[in-house]
A and B are shown apart, each in its own frame.
Chain A
Amino acid sequence: MIEEVAATTEGDLVINIGPQHPSTHGVLHLFVTMNGETIKKVEPHLGYIHRSIEKMDESLSYRQFIYSTSRMDYLSSHINNHGCALCVEKGLQLEIPPRAKVIRILMDELTRIASHCLWWGALAMDVGALTPFFHAFREREMINDIMEESCGARLTMNYMVPGGVMFDIQPNFQKHVKEFVAHFKTKIGEYDEMVTNNIIFQRRMKNVGYISPEDAVSYGCTGAVLRASGVKSDIRKIAPYDGYENVKFEEPLEMAGDCFARYMVRMKEMMQSLSIVEQLIDNIPEGDFVAKTKAVLKLPKGEFYSRVETARGEFGVYIVSEGGLTPYRIKFRSPGFSNLSALDHMSRGQKIGDLVAIMGTLDLVIPDIDR
């Protein structure tokens, strides 16, 4: 990798962006080769926040390892935990009570809205608008309060356990969620007024960071990045899990494949998540919130894979079991890693200022990439 950069032609400028740079959203280190202000090549250097979660999980039991996945993509920790719980349940062939399924979907969708709120604020701040960040955090704070009340934590929940959820919802969960839905509907218009319709923002986003559907598929992009290129890829539609087949929602698609398309897909996704929450909030069935499981979980010998749609894309959990108390091997397919690999392709020939906008619309969470 280093040799390749050394072979740049005369007059090229090589700069480092990060690992301590606010626009990289964490400790991402980009090695950018430029000709003037035009980007010739972008090389992401990883490993600054590698905690070897996969190796660590090999020594943890099937109940214990779920907590560590909250530390990967910390903005959609519920959905990560959900994926792991699903994989363990697949191995145990557990039947989940209907109440637990609905609570899981509700929490997932609230997490998705919270994650997109933060992404929206951070993206606007990346491209130079400071105020939207605070507006987005106002709405996110309401969701965090709901989570805090029912799950006991604001960021690293560890709420999904094999067989259901850890606690039942609080009595006033439904009231608070309804308040949030009503509040968010009045505020989403402000988001459009402030940022989406803003001429400067649109000029920064349109025709920047184009990726064709073929390239997006071959780079392994998932989530909003792939859907912005016009490829249907929502796991909730393709392989529905935990009752997503029973709720009505649309999969937002855009054809342009540029930064603005990715932005619009995420904005529409928020509205779809809101409609899922509205459909389910009054229809939480009565019953148990967790299935009865043995005190010690043992998966049969074999390989198990489950996938969920996080706020960033497809998250996969692959467990190889030898029949023991701990997994023999665990592998996480994180959406951020594949989305980051397309960054070089998207930003070649663009200006250095656009690199920040492209990174913002990829919605990178670095602990998710490094694990």
Chain B
Amino acid sequence: MFIVDYIKTVFGGVKSLLVGMNRTGYYFFHHKEIITQQYPDVKQVLPERFRGEVVMIHDEKNEHRCTGCTACELACPNATIKIVTKFDITPEGKKKKALDTFVYHLELCTMCNLCIEACPTGAIKMDQTFEHSVYDRSLLIKILNKPGSKLMEGVE
């Protein structure tokens, strides 16, 4: 009986290998089911929610919605955002707190989306860019408000 079992095992083994090789062979001749992408040539369209980096929304008049309330700075777990404020003088002659520079450290950011959730005015959003490699670390420190931009009217 030992011999019979032995032969059965041998042929069973060979059969199991052939079944597996059959599957591999199927994909060898069915190129359409290959799913790899030719990345640098063909770029995938990323979904709207994809979190690549934080950007500030500016309209065509170069106005943003950031009041400099530092809610995002407090919500950030890694001290990625640093907000510098200044005092504007309103036409009535009163002092008003306003945004001076919105410093964003991309090298510290973990794309957790907590700053966007925290923002009361919807001034910042996540962008879909993902190719962030640069040759110098200092290039990753970004100022998000564009030069000459000011607060949109009606945003408190």
Does A131 touch B at the CB level, under 8 Å? Answer: yes
Confirm or deny: A194 has a beta carbon within 8 angstroms of a beta carbon on chain B: yes
Between A and B, 5 residue pairs with Cβ closer than 8 Å are A65-B77, A149-B49, A153-B50, A156-B111, A197-B20
Decide: A67 near B114, CB < 8 A? Known: A148-B47, A148-B50, A152-B51. yes
Q: How far is the CA of A65 from the CA of B50 in the complex (A)?
A: 21
Q: Tell yes or no: A350 within 8 A of B by CB.
A: no
A199 touches B13 (CB 8 A): yes
A198 interfacial contact with B, CB 8 Å? yes
B50 touches A68 (CB 8 A): no
- Chain A residues with Cβ below 8 Å from B112 are 67, 158
Report Cα–Cα, A151/B117, bound state, in Å: 13
Query: CB of A64 within 8 A of chain B?
Result: yes
B35 contacts partner chain A, Cβ-Cβ < 8 Å: yes
- In the complex formed, the residue of A with least CB distance to B22 is A193
Among B20, B77, B113, B117, the residue within 8 A (CB) of A68 is B77
Bound-state CA distance A198–B47 (Å) is 39
Q: Mark B19-57, 1 if CB is under 8 A from A, else 0.
A: 110111000000000010000000000110111000000
Chain A residues in the interface with B (C-beta under 8 A) = 60, 63-65, 67-68, 131, 138, 141, 148-153, 156, 158, 161, 166-167, 170, 190, 193-195, 197-200
What would 8 more interface pairs be, CB under 8 Å, given A152-B51, A158-B114, A166-B117?
Answer: A141-B35, A152-B47, A152-B50, A170-B47, A170-B49, A195-B20, A198-B17, A199-B16
Task: Please name all residues of chain A whose beta carbon is closer than 8 Å to the beta carbon of B117 when the two chains form the complex.
Answer: 161, 166
CB-CB under 8 A from B50, the residues of chain A are: 148, 152-153
Alpha-carbon distance A248/B101, docked complex (angstroms): 55
Inter-subunit contact B49/A63 (CB<8 Å): no
B residues apposed to A, CB below 8 Å: 12-13, 16-17, 19-20, 22-24, 35, 46-47, 49-51, 75-77, 110-114, 117, 126
Q: Which residue of A lies closest to B77 (CB)?
A: A64
Residue in B17, B35, B111 whose CB lies within 8 Å of A199: B17
Give the residue name and chain of the B residue nearest to A191 (CB): B23
Residue of chain B at shortest CB distance from A142: B35
Among B16, B77, B111, point to the contact of A197 (Cβ < 8 A).
B16
| A64-B114 in contact (CB<8A) | yes
Complex interface: chain B residues within 8 A of A60 (CB): 77
Interface centre among A63, A167, A170 (most CB of B within 10 A): A63
Chain A residues with CB under 8 Å of B51's CB are 152-153
Partner of B23, one of A64, A152, A167, A190: A190
CB <8 Å contact, B16 and A198:
yes
* Chain B residues whose CB sits within 8 angstroms of the CB of A194 once the complex forms: 20, 23-24
Partner of B111 from the list A153, A161, A170, A200 (CB cut-off 8 Å) is A153
Complex-state Cα separation, A368 to B114, whole angstroms? 23
Neighbouring B residues of A167 by C-beta, 8 Å? 49
Whether the pair B110, A156 counts as a contact (CB closer than 8 A) is: yes
Q: How far is the CA of A150 from the CA of B50 in the complex (A)?
A: 9
Complex alpha-carbon distance, A193 and B50, angstroms: 36
CB-based closest 7 A-B pairs: A199-B13, A152-B49, A64-B77, A67-B112, A149-B47, A158-B112, A152-B51
Contacts of A158 in B (CB 8 A): 112-114
* Closest-CB distance, A61 to chain B (whole angstroms): 8
